[in-house]
Amino acid sequence: MQELTHYINGEHVKGTSGRFADVFNPATGEVQGRVPLADASEMDKAVAAAAAAQPAWAAVNPQRRARVMMAFVGLLNRDMDKLAEALSREHGKTLPDAAGDVQRGLEVVEYCIGAPELLKGDFTDSAGPGIDMYSMKQALGVCAGITPFNFPAMIPMWMFAPAIVCGNAFILKPSERDPSVPLMLAELLEEAGLPKGIIQVVNGDKGAVDAILDHPVIQSVGFVGSTPIAEYIYGRGCANGKRVQCFGGAKNHMIIMPDADLDQAADALIGAGYGAAGERCMAISVALPVGEETADRLMDKLIPRVEALKVGPYTSGNDVDYGPVVTAAAKENILKLVESGVEQGANLRVDGRGFSLQGYEDGFFVGPHLFDNVTPDMDIYKKEIFGPVLSTIRTGSYEEALGLAMSHEYGNGIALYTRDGDTARDFAHRINVGMIGINVPIPVPLAYHTFGGWKKSAFGDLNQHGPDAFKFYTRTKTITSRWPSGIKDGGEFNFKPME
Ligand code: NAD
């Protein structure tokens, strides 16, 4: 069994708290390693190393900092297969999906190569007589990030790449479910030329998170995970005077209009609903067909597709559509919610209960489920299931479907399938959700745009990656300067406009 470590000041260090969490292979159900859970004294060591290294890193010119990111991209591509394998082994997702996880992180690293341009300040010549005014974007100091299990490569990179290229040191507290890839990423960053102490990986659970939230040296906290924890971290981090952004859970809808291409819509629902076993914050978990006839036709197309889904271990290569869920507890929670759906009267058209895979009976596999005739009061609609379960609510009109999606507490992503430009335009303007797909099922914005939901899916002012990340990881300083030859007046007592 592998004993994992922390990565502090350029070294793999063993945990000293005496607390560990098991790391499973979700396909077999076996414990394949254990990860140390840091206490506050271990966090202190990482923060001290980060604080000592950060000023020299911030003084490195932005083009040289960007070159480290450029080299890091090369190393990610070199090690893509190795990273994907390690990721699948702990998370369970298929190898192509794991490579996609690395790739979507890598794209944000590529964006960060533009740091010299993105970090340029503003300058106003002659803002007043002999007066120039300019602003600069400076690093915050030591930043921290707390990440979820479902994208163990992408989400850490979304945080640490912009933070580091802006001149900060970064402490990553990854999910304790799949910590190997974050440790590998830290090693690769240093191979790319990052000085020791600028990236640290401190593994742990609530204890490590609280140590981050209460540490006076840490200036900012980024979090991605479930909404109750997002609310907790946002509240405690802000109360401690930190800059905080938290991204939470989701319940993403797809509205299917009667004029939509229903084959395209059904294919999209299969990929977006069941890909990665539904363990994506941008997964579509609710289908809202408009009109009974659309609903009937959609069901006819969905049922055979869902029944044909291939579920298996990542070692089966391209032969599987999705793998196991991350833990036995996650599997139990999903099946409990499915049971509640049946009890509350939803119509289970494809029943994945009792699914078992020969040779992998102890793995955390969940068969695909498809519900019809779901109503908004049911738990399977109100709660995030985070599993391979698609719920269908039949709606009578576009307005009814729009109203339903708008009144849900989450607002991460949503899709509309239609051929009608007027409906699409109306939808994009009125919907209160952060990321919108028009005939696109998983509208994850690319690296140079920003990623973030609305309502209970996000807390804080700025989104992830794109220009917002450069705002989140820097603070602006504005300088007004005048040289002795330009100073004409004596003392000034009134607050007056610039001449
Ligand atoms: P989680 O909230 O259980 O854990 C996320 C992080 O918080 C982990 O690092 C974990 O160690 C830590 N944590 C857990 N319990 C804690 C506690 N009581 N106090 C302090 N820290 C704690 O989430 P998860 O199960 O790892 O990930 C799945 C969730 O993440 C889903 O809700 C999903 O929608 C969400 N997610 C959201 C986005 C987004 O961008 N909005 C992206 C990916 C995942």
What average pLDDT does the segment 28-36 reach?
97
Pairing type for strands 243-247 and 218-224 reads parallel
Q: 92: CA distance to ligand 1 center in Å?
A: 17
Residue 491 clears pLDDT 90, i.e. is over it: no
Taking all residues of the chain, what is their mean pLDDT, rounded to a whole number? 97
Ligand 1 pocket test, candidate residues 90, 209, 409, most atoms within 8 A of CB = 209
Q: What is the dihedral of CA 75, 76, 77, 83, to 10 degrees?
A: 120
What average pLDDT does the segment 312-338 reach?
95
Exposed/middle/buried for residue 206 (C-beta within 10 Å: 0-12, 13-18, 19+): exposed
409 lines ligand 1 (CB under 6 A): no
Distance CA 473, CA 168 (A): 8
Distance CA 147, CA 474 (A): 20
Tokens of 336: 């409990």
Tokens of 1: 């069994």
Q: 291: CA distance to ligand 1 center in Å?
A: 36
158 lines ligand 1 (CB under 6 A): no
Residue 488 clears pLDDT 80, i.e. is over it: no
Q: What is the pLDDT of residues 393-441, one digit of tens each?
A: 999 999 999 999 999 999 999 999 999 999 999 999 999 999 999 999 9
Share of the chain above pLDDT 70, in %: 100
Listed in order, strand segments (DSSP E) in 243-372 are 243-247, 252-256, 284-289, 347-350, 369-372
For residue 36, the 8-state DSSP code is: E
Contact by Cβ (8 Å): 9, 49? yes
To 5 degrees, how large is the angle CA 59–CA 60–CA 63? 135
Residue 189 clears pLDDT 90, i.e. is over it: yes
Closest residue by CA, ligand 1 atom 26: 148
Residue 221 clears pLDDT 90, i.e. is over it: yes
Closest residue by CA, ligand 1 atom 30: 225
Q: 213: CA distance to ligand 1 center in Å?
A: 15
426 lines ligand 1 (CB under 6 A): no
Ligand 1 pocket test, candidate residues 93, 150, 158, 459, most atoms within 8 A of CB = 150
What average pLDDT does the segment 44-49 reach?
98
Nearest atom in ligand 1 to 464's CA: 40
Nearest atom in ligand 1 to 173's CA: 9
229 lines ligand 1 (CB under 6 A): yes
Contact by Cβ (8 Å): 409, 455? yes
Residue 486 clears pLDDT 90, i.e. is over it: no
At 336 the pLDDT is 98
| Rg of the chain in Å (alpha carbons) | 25
At 153 the pLDDT is 98
Q: What is the pLDDT of residues 51-88, one digit of tens each?
A: 999 999 999 999 999 999 999 999 999 999 999 999 99
Residue 226 clears pLDDT 80, i.e. is over it: yes
Q: 317: CA distance to ligand 1 center in Å?
A: 28
At 210 the pLDDT is 98
206 lines ligand 1 (CB under 6 A): yes
Residue 185 clears pLDDT 90, i.e. is over it: yes
Distance CA 105, CA 148 (A): 14
Q: 236: CA distance to ligand 1 center in Å?
A: 16
Tokens of 431: 């919907």
- Residues in Cβ contact with 309 at an 8 Å cutoff, skipping those fewer than 6 apart: 270, 274, 321, 322, 368, 388
**Which residues are tagged catalytic?**
281
Listed range (79-83, 88-92, 173-177, 492-496) with the worst mean pLDDT: 492-496
Q: Do domains 2-248+457-479 and 252-438 have the same CATH topology?
A: no
Closest residue by CA, ligand 1 atom 10: 175
To 5 degrees, how large is the angle CA 412–CA 91–CA 113? 65
What average pLDDT does the segment 217-233 reach?
98
Ligand 1 pocket test, candidate residues 24, 101, 149, most atoms within 8 A of CB = 149
Residue 475: alpha-carbon gap to chain centroid: 23
Q: What is the pLDDT of residues 237-262, one digit of tens each?
A: 999 999 999 999 999 999 999 999 99
Nearest atom in ligand 1 to 228's CA: 2
457 lines ligand 1 (CB under 6 A): yes
Q: 247: CA distance to ligand 1 center in Å?
A: 9
> How many angstroms separate the Cα of 387 from the Cα of each of 106, 176, 326, 352?
26, 19, 10, 11
At 13 the pLDDT is 98
Going from N- to C-terminal start, the domains of the chain cover 2-248+457-479, 252-438
At 248 the pLDDT is 98
209 lines ligand 1 (CB under 6 A): yes
**Pairs from 479-484 (Cβ < 8 Å, separation ≥ 24):** 479/133, 479/134, 479/135, 479/136, 480/127, 480/131, 480/132, 480/133, 481/131, 481/132, 481/133, 481/134, 482/128, 482/130, 482/131, 482/132, 483/130
> How many angstroms separate the Cα of 448 from the Cα of each of 19, 55, 160, 414, 486?
40, 28, 16, 20, 42
Q: Of 180, 172, 171, 413, which is closest to residue 286 (Cα–Cα)?
A: 413
Residue 124 clears pLDDT 90, i.e. is over it: yes
At 79 the pLDDT is 98
Tokens of 326: 């991350």
Tokens of 40: 């506050």
Ligand 1 pocket test, candidate residues 175, 214, 331, most atoms within 8 A of CB = 175
144 lines ligand 1 (CB under 6 A): no
Residue 484 clears pLDDT 90, i.e. is over it: no
226 lines ligand 1 (CB under 6 A): yes
Between 467 and 489, the more confident residue is 467
Q: 172: CA distance to ligand 1 center in Å?
A: 14
At 340 the pLDDT is 98
Share of the chain above pLDDT 90, in %: 95
410 lines ligand 1 (CB under 6 A): no
The position carrying tokens 């979700």 is 26
Q: What is the dihedral of CA 287, 272, 281, 253, to 10 degrees?
A: -20
Residue 390 clears pLDDT 80, i.e. is over it: yes
Closest residue by CA, ligand 1 atom 6: 148
Side chain identity, residue 40: A
CATH fold of the domain at 252-438:
Aldehyde Dehydrogenase; Chain A, domain 2 (3.40.309)
412 lines ligand 1 (CB under 6 A): yes
Residue 497 clears pLDDT 80, i.e. is over it: no
Contact by Cβ (8 Å): 212, 146? yes
Tokens of 168: 């900060």
pLDDT bucket at 458, cuts 50 / 70 / 90: very high
First to last CA, the chain: 73
Exposed/middle/buried for residue 164 (C-beta within 10 Å: 0-12, 13-18, 19+): buried
Residue 317 clears pLDDT 90, i.e. is over it: no
CATH of the domain spanning 2-248+457-479 = 3.40.605.10
Query: In terms of pTM, does the model score above 0.95?
Result: yes
Residue 492 clears pLDDT 80, i.e. is over it: no
Tokens of 322: 């999705």
